[in-house]
Amino acid sequence: MSPSDHHVNSRIKTRTRIKFCGLTREQDVDDAVAAGADALGFVFWPGSSRCVDDARLAALVDRVPAFVTRVGLFVDQSPELIMRVSRYLDLLQFHGNETPAYCAGFERPWVKALRMRDGLDLHAAAAAYSSAQALLLDAYRPGVPGGTGETFDWSRIPASLAKPVILAGGLTPANVAQAIDSVRPFAVDVSGGVEAARGCKAPELLKAFAAAVHGADGGCR
């Protein structure tokens, strides 16, 4: 494969963006921003131990400075909830079985998370979710909508895709450089790999993750 055949994201000569997801505590927001986060994710799915409510969200986003993207993560949730919290958010991340029309219906920037189940056609998904800002690719475990802490076979991601890729699923400070070398994603997204306990980020892991990303980018920051 020549460099020009590689994944569409590799043609965007830029640093790899970093999203830290599943923040629940003010200190974690401060630590994630200090580590160099481009985006912070807040989970609204009640099945997650990382789930936040409106009051928690308001307190957390209050710590987020300009130019750091505030992302809300939803799993097949009601339009009422999404509309209510979206005033605190810059971007919506849909992690369930939401249709393209549903995702686009909020008239806000959004990304679609896809779990890499067998047979998933990423080209077809990119065409279907054509108004998404990116596709977030996560590991597939039956019955679990995401946040599994598991990786998937990164070679399944096509060399060329019509949407920017946000790579997720089991990333850690130890494997993210290899993931970037392999996939050349636009961004990487991590939750469990930077936690000391579920929902509690560890500052040293946040820093180590960001350092590994910067290292993989060749020191470009």
Q: Report the amino acid identity of residue 58.
A: A
Q: Which residue in 130, 137, 94 sits closest to 114, CA to CA?
A: 137
Cβ-count burial 5-18 (b if 16+ within 10 Å, e if not): eebbbbeeeebbbb
Here the tokens at position 21 are: 């997801």
> Under rule CB under 6 A, which residues in 143-182 are in contact with ligand LGQLAAA5?
145-149, 168-171
Choose the stretch contacting ligand LGQLAAA5; rule: CB under 6 A; options: 29-37, 53-61, 99-107, 184-192. 184-192
**C-beta of 45 vs 88, nearer to ligand LGQLAAA5:** 45
Smallest gap from residue 131 Cβ to ligand LGQLAAA5 (A): 20
> Under rule CB under 6 A, which residues in 119-138 are in contact with ligand LGQLAAA5?
136, 138
Smallest gap from residue 4 Cβ to ligand LGQLAAA5 (A): 29
The residue count for binding ligand LGQLAAA5 (CB under 6 A) is 26
Q: Is 43 in the site for ligand LGQLAAA5 (CB under 6 A)?
A: yes
First CA to last CA distance, the chain: 27
**Which parts of 75-121 fold into alpha helices (H)?**
79-85, 100-104
Q: Is 201 in the site for ligand LGQLAAA5 (CB under 6 A)?
A: no
Cβ neighbors of 171 (< 8 A, separation 6 or more) are: 151, 179, 188, 189, 190, 193, 209
Residue 21 among the catalytic residues? yes
| Distant-in-sequence contacts of 82-87, Cβ < 8 A, 24+ apart | 82/44, 82/106, 84/54, 85/44, 85/54, 85/57
- Interface pick for ligand LGQLAAA5 out of 7, 29, 40, 41 (rule CB under 6 A): 41
Q: Is 206 in the site for ligand LGQLAAA5 (CB under 6 A)?
A: no
Active site residues: 21, 138
Binding site for ligand LGQLAAA5 (CB under 6 A): 21-22, 41, 43, 45, 48, 50, 73, 75, 95, 136, 138, 145-149, 168-171, 189-193
